[in-house]
């Protein structure tokens, strides 16, 4: 782990009703992604947010699942039934170029959906050299990248609400 210490964060209070979120996770590395999910759930609990969790086969499927979720009809005036989306996954570098292609495709795919749709998204994809690095970033401490992505997501939800987009 880096010598840089991660900041202590607390969930921001949100104006309006408690947010309803969707977590899309790729649990190929189940322990790692499970640790990230637990970190995110703690942040959501602080913000009194509710969350549904769905799984996809791997990181490559995250952008398509996000696009599908954004296409789901809503019962209200919002464009979807979720206030925001959290993506969780992990890609560990191996001996082939597969890692580079998957990481680039997932990041670009999520960015494309994000900019096209203006959705509130928290992006928690670990791209690491080793499983030990992933485990360090999914531990139950302030270095948990699932918690960091959840904080980012809640900030995006707050911004959408501020600008009247939610």
- Catalytic residue annotation: 98
Both structure tokens of 79: 């464009």
> Is residue 96 part of an annotated ligand binding site?
yes
CA distance 17 to 114: 23
Q: Are 42 and 149 in contact (CB under 8 A)?
A: no
CA distance 132 to 161: 38
> Is residue 61 part of an annotated ligand binding site?
yes
Smallest CA-to-CA distance from 52 within 81, 29, 77 is with 81
> Is residue 54 part of an annotated ligand binding site?
no
> Is residue 38 part of an annotated ligand binding site?
no
> Is residue 106 part of an annotated ligand binding site?
no
> Is residue 53 part of an annotated ligand binding site?
no
Q: List the binding residues.
A: 28, 59-61, 90-92, 95-96, 123, 137
Q: List the binding residues for (2S)-2-hydroxy-3-oxobutyl phosphate.
A: 95-96, 137
Q: List the binding residues for 5-amino-6-(D-ribitylamino)uracil.
A: 28, 59-61, 90-92, 123
């Amino acid at each position: 782990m880096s010598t840089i210490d991660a900041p202590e964060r607390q969930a921001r209070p949100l104006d309006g009703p408690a947010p309803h979120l969707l977590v899309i996770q790729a649990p190929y590395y189940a322990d790692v992604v499970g640790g990230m999910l637990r970190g995110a759930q703690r942040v959501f609990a602080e913000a009194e947010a509710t969350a549904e969790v769905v799984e996809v086969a791997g990181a490559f499927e995250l952008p398509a699942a996000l696009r599908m979720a954004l296409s789901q009809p809503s019962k209200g005036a919002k464009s979807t039934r979720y206030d925001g989306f959290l993506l969780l996954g992990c890609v560990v570098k191996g001996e082939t170029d597969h890692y580079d292609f998957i990481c680039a495709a997932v990041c670009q795919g999520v960015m494309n959906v994000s900019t096209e749709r203006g959705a509130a998204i928290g992006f928690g994809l670990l791209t690491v050299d080793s499983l030990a690095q992933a485990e360090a970033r999914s531990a139950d401490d302030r270095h948990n990248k699932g918690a960091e992505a959840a904080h980012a997501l809640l900030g995006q939800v707050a911004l959408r609400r501020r600008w009247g987009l939610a």
